[in-house]
Homo-oligomer: A and B are copies of this chain.
């Protein structure tokens, strides 16, 4: 039996149909000229969604969290000071990952649901090697001002987590001063999970670790096969076997997104998120993320006091085949996370989740 779901949680989202179709196309070899052409086009389209001209822009062959690890393992030298803006789970994770890479981590803690306080982060240390922040916190539904961090970063490198922002809201890596960025495919890019779109600028690459502790994520080795190789037209060096089907699927989704145009895609996310958030407030529910910093693609809402969070989610899943997410960390049972990302960023999806939640709350009441 095939189980079908409306994936309205914090990710994965339902992929764009083009991405699903592409997964089932006849497989190509990872060194086949036909595949290398697809890889090069995918890297070029990734540059567009990142807002960068970085030659080293590529899909890393693992999920978004491996992108985070690639960012730090290639840039953190032993003892480097890394200032991390922590306003949710993924900021916390950055601290753990950077510390394992040898960093002296300076964590700048924020209340969950709040955006990054740019002044506090920039003044946390006089001369950090790296400043790191999450653009769109998947755990809280909050956007932060990466451009302001970039403007004030000084000599530090700026590492940015764009897992939940890429292809959902405005992202301008070069204009904002992002030196290293990583993302995931399973949110607004509308592809199944499995790849980490990644970009690194020349300034960061020049300061890279010559022989990182990770062989799999070593950008010196990866660059010979994807990203810069495509730009420079040089020969391909075998490193590992690329996840061919996933890359072909990413290519199809990117083509779909750019065909619609990035501004139109952002506007579609904005519209769907506004409908959802307005509807939730009209139902008397309280939003969790700070006003003015709410992500349209991922909405956090407080569970009403007398309501069993898990029972509502189970009702949605079992009766309506509709998944929303529990809260993260300490908010597991007091917050819901509702994503309208990628193919799901549509008015009908917003209506459906509102109606289904109303039904579930009526059952729970």
Asked if residues A65 and B27 are in contact (CB atoms below 8 Å), the reply is no
Asked if residues B193 and A100 are in contact (CB atoms below 8 Å), the reply is no
What sequence of 0s and 1s flags, for each residue 8-39 of chain A, a beta carbon within 8 Å of any chain B beta carbon? 01011011000011011111111011100000
Residues A12 and B29 in contact in the complex (CB < 8 Å), given A100-B213, A194-B194, A211-B100: yes
A66 to B12, CA, bound (A): 22
One of A42-50, A111-119, A237-245, A353-361 at the interface: A237-245
What sequence of 0s and 1s flags, for each residue 204-228 of chain A, a beta carbon within 8 Å of any chain B beta carbon? 0000000111111000000000000
Asked if residues B29 and A194 are in contact (CB atoms below 8 Å), the reply is no
Q: How far is the CB of A78 from chain B (nearest CB, A)?
A: 11
Q: Is the interface of A mostly helix, strand, loop or mixed?
A: loop
Asked if residues A317 and B32 are in contact (CB atoms below 8 Å), the reply is yes
Contact of A243 among B26, B30, B63, B317 (CB under 8 A): B63
A238 to B3, CA, bound (A): 22
Give the nearest-CB partner of A186 in chain B.
Answer: B241
Residues A25 and B2 in contact in the complex (CB < 8 Å), given A194-B61, A211-B100: yes
- Which residues of A (77-108) have their CB < 8 Å from a CB of B? 93, 96-97, 100-101
A33 to B66, CA, bound (A): 25
- Which residues of A (226-278) have their CB < 8 Å from a CB of B? 239-246
Q: How far is the CB of A241 from chain B (nearest CB, A)?
A: 4
Asked if residues B97 and A240 are in contact (CB atoms below 8 Å), the reply is no
**A305 CB within 8 Å of chain B:** no
Q: Identify which of A32, A62, A65 gathers the most chain B CB atoms within 10 Å of its CB.
A: A62
Q: How large is the interface on A (under 10, 10 to 19, 20 to 34, 35 or more residues)?
A: 35 or more
Q: Which residues of B contact A241 (CB under 8 A)?
A: 11-12, 63-65, 184, 186, 193
Q: Which residues of B contact A297 (CB under 8 A)?
A: none
- Which residues of A (116-145) have their CB < 8 Å from a CB of B? none
Residues A62 and B216 in contact in the complex (CB < 8 Å), given A11-B241, A242-B193: yes
Q: Which residues of B contact A184 (CB under 8 A)?
A: 241
Q: How far is the CB of A185 from chain B (nearest CB, A)?
A: 9
Residues A3 and B24 in contact in the complex (CB < 8 Å), given A63-B240, A245-B194: no
Q: Which residues of B contact A20 (CB under 8 A)?
A: 24, 27
Q: Which residues of B contact A33 (CB under 8 A)?
A: 317
Asked if residues B240 and A23 are in contact (CB atoms below 8 Å), the reply is no
Give the nearest-CB partner of A248 in chain B.
Answer: B192
Q: How far is the CB of A196 from chain B (nearest CB, A)?
A: 10
Contact of A5 among B12, B27, B100, B323 (CB under 8 A): B27
Asked if residues A97 and B215 are in contact (CB atoms below 8 Å), the reply is yes
Q: Which residues of B contact A312 (CB under 8 A)?
A: none
What sequence of 0s and 1s flags, for each residue 270-307 of chain A, a beta carbon within 8 Å of any chain B beta carbon? 00000000000000000000000000000000000000
**A189 CB within 8 Å of chain B:** no
Besides A100-B213, A214-B214, 20 new A-B residue pairs in contact (Cβ under 8 A), listed by A number: A2-B25, A5-B26, A5-B32, A9-B29, A12-B27, A12-B30, A15-B27, A32-B323, A61-B66, A63-B243, A65-B216, A65-B239, A69-B214, A97-B215, A100-B212, A101-B213, A192-B246, A193-B245, A194-B243, A213-B213
Can you give 13 A-B contacts (C-beta < 8 A)? A9-B29, A12-B29, A12-B241, A23-B245, A29-B323, A62-B62, A62-B63, A63-B242, A66-B216, A73-B214, A192-B246, A193-B243, A214-B214
